[in-house]
Amino acid sequence: MDNTKFRRLFTILIVLLIITFFISLSIGRYSNDPLDVLNTLFSRAGWKEGSNPIMDNIVFYVRMPRIIVSMLVGAMLSLSGAVYQGVFKNPLISPDLLGVSSGASVGAALAIMLGASLAQRQITAFLGGLLAVSITAFIPKLFKNRNNMMLVLSGIIVSGFFCSLLSIMKFVAEEQTELASIVFWQMGSMAKVLGKEIVAITPVFIICTTVLLLLSWRINILSFGDLEAKSLGMNITQIRGIIIVCASLLTASSVSISGTIGWIGLVIPHLGRLAIGTDNTKVVPITVVMGALFMLVIDTLARTVSTAEIPLSILTGFVGAPLFAYLLYKQKTLVE
């Protein structure tokens, strides 16, 4: 099996990620001098005497956490997108499909309205997302229809319901303080992510990503359809169930800390397939790294381009939508 192309691409992406990491660490509203950053890093490591406490604070408490979380979120959203697309045999869907994003949004909005802490908000968003997925998974059982299309329709129903719920909450919220907060968060932002939140989502990221990497070849088989997958001896309900739960956990985690960020779960997997083919054993790892890189770049722009913070969905839409159009053009067979 020709792995050289894959290895090469993966290496290039990792190198790009590391370089971008350092560039991002060096730029920001406070200072754009990479030397400042290097000095800070060296003095932390004990190689240099004297340090600038403000710069130290900025590097380790302001920029570093934010960079890490943007990479994590980018990876998680892209990965869940790639996996959903494989499992539902549909390259045109994204993590929002099953209602996870809207469910998580409602959970988080509830926390904002009740004045809960950021940690509590994360939990309610998590629960909201899982609740939405559970309902989505339950509806086809109610109709005794196990078709993939049924699941998609069910997801649309649940998404729609939770979105309306969110609108009601926005309507009821106090105009001055809560509404603004909910709206801003709905468009995606890393600005308020705390260190402890990053610690909380890391285990989810590690476990779910590992499981999905291990099952990535099986996703190929699931993408052939139920009949073929079953005839190859796969317990499709179980495997598909595990994959959906992992992908949904990844999406809900990400939504709970940074709000809803669109496009990335749709576009990055396509970019990955364009680069490396459709075999999920390659697409899954590539998507993880590409997603991290993409989100890192976007978030760096969001916090440096102007004094005001630009909501992430605006940037991802601005870049993602035309990019997606281009990708569709390149992969004409998809639309046929």
Query: Is the torsion defined by CA of 5, 15, 271, 132 positive or negative?
Result: positive
List 89, 141, 146, 330, residue binding another protein (CB under 8 A): 89
Shortest distance (Å) from residue 66 CB to another protein: 9
Binding string, residues 199-228; x marks residues near another protein by CB under 8 A: ---------------xxxxx-xx-xxx-xx
* Cα–Cα dist 249/126, whole Å: 8
Q: How far is the CB of 20 from another protein (least distance, A)?
A: 18
Report the residue number, 90 or 134, with the smaller CB distance to another protein.
90
Q: Based on the shown chain and the rule CB under 8 A, indicate whether residue 191 belongs to the binding site for another protein.
A: yes
Say how far apart CA 17 and CA 9 lie, in whole Å.
Answer: 12
Among 10, 161, 184, 318, binds another protein (CB under 8 A): 184
Report the candidate in 332, 289, 324 with the shortest Cα–Cα distance to residue 94.
Answer: 324
> Counting every residue, how long is the chain?
336
User: Are the C-beta atoms of residues 240 and 222 closer than 8 Å to each other?
Assistant: yes
Candidate ranges 54-62, 72-80, 200-208, 288-296; the one touching another protein (CB under 8 A): 54-62
The interface mask with another protein, positions 13-42, x = CB under 8 A, is: ---------------xxxx-----------
Cβ at position 161, least distance to another protein in Å: 21
Residue with tokens 């499981």: 211
The residues near 4 (Cβ < 8 Å, ≥ 6 apart) are none
Return the number of the residue (41 or 192) whose C-beta is nearest another protein: 192
Instruction: Note whether 50 binds another protein by CB under 8 A.
Output: no
CB 229 to another protein: min, Å: 8
Q: Which residues fall within 8 angstroms of residue 315, CB to CB, at 6 or more apart?
A: 298, 301, 302
Q: Are 272 and 290 in contact (CB under 8 A)?
A: yes
Using the rule CB under 8 A, which residue among 67, 69, 74, 86 binds another protein? 86
CB 104 within 8 A of CB 94: no
**Which residues from 140-179 bind another protein, rule CB under 8 A?**
171, 174-179
Q: Is 90 in the site for another protein (CB under 8 A)?
A: yes
Give the C-alpha separation, 290 to 274, whole Å.
Answer: 12
Q: Which of 19, 54, 119, 168 binds another protein (CB under 8 A)?
A: 54
Name residues contacting another protein, limited to 110-129 (CB under 8 A): 112, 115
User: What is the C-alpha separation between 309 and 29, in angstroms, rounded?
Assistant: 11
Do the Cβ atoms of 68 and 296 come closer than 8 Å?
no
At 33, give phi and psi (nearest 5°): -95, 115
Check residue 245 for interaction with another protein (CB under 8 A): no
Please identify which residue in 97, 259, 303, 316 interacts with another protein, judged by CB under 8 A.
303
At 170, the amino acid letter reads K
| Nearer residue to another protein within complex by CB, 134 or 220 | 220
Smaller CB separation from another protein, 63 or 252: 63
- Grouping H, G, I as helix, E, B as strand and the rest as coil, residue 21 is helix
Question: How many C-beta atoms lie closer than 10 Å to residue 297's C-beta?
Answer: 18
Residue in 180, 199, 206, 325 binding another protein, rule: CB under 8 A: 180
Rounded distance, CA 49 to CA 43, Å? 6
Residue 217 Cβ vs another protein, minimum distance, rounded to whole Å: 5
Residues that bind another protein (CB under 8 A): 1, 28-31, 53-54, 57-58, 61-63, 86, 89-91, 112, 115, 171, 174-181, 184, 189, 191-192, 195, 214-218, 220-221, 223-225, 227-228, 230-235, 239, 273, 277-279, 281, 303-304, 307-309, 333
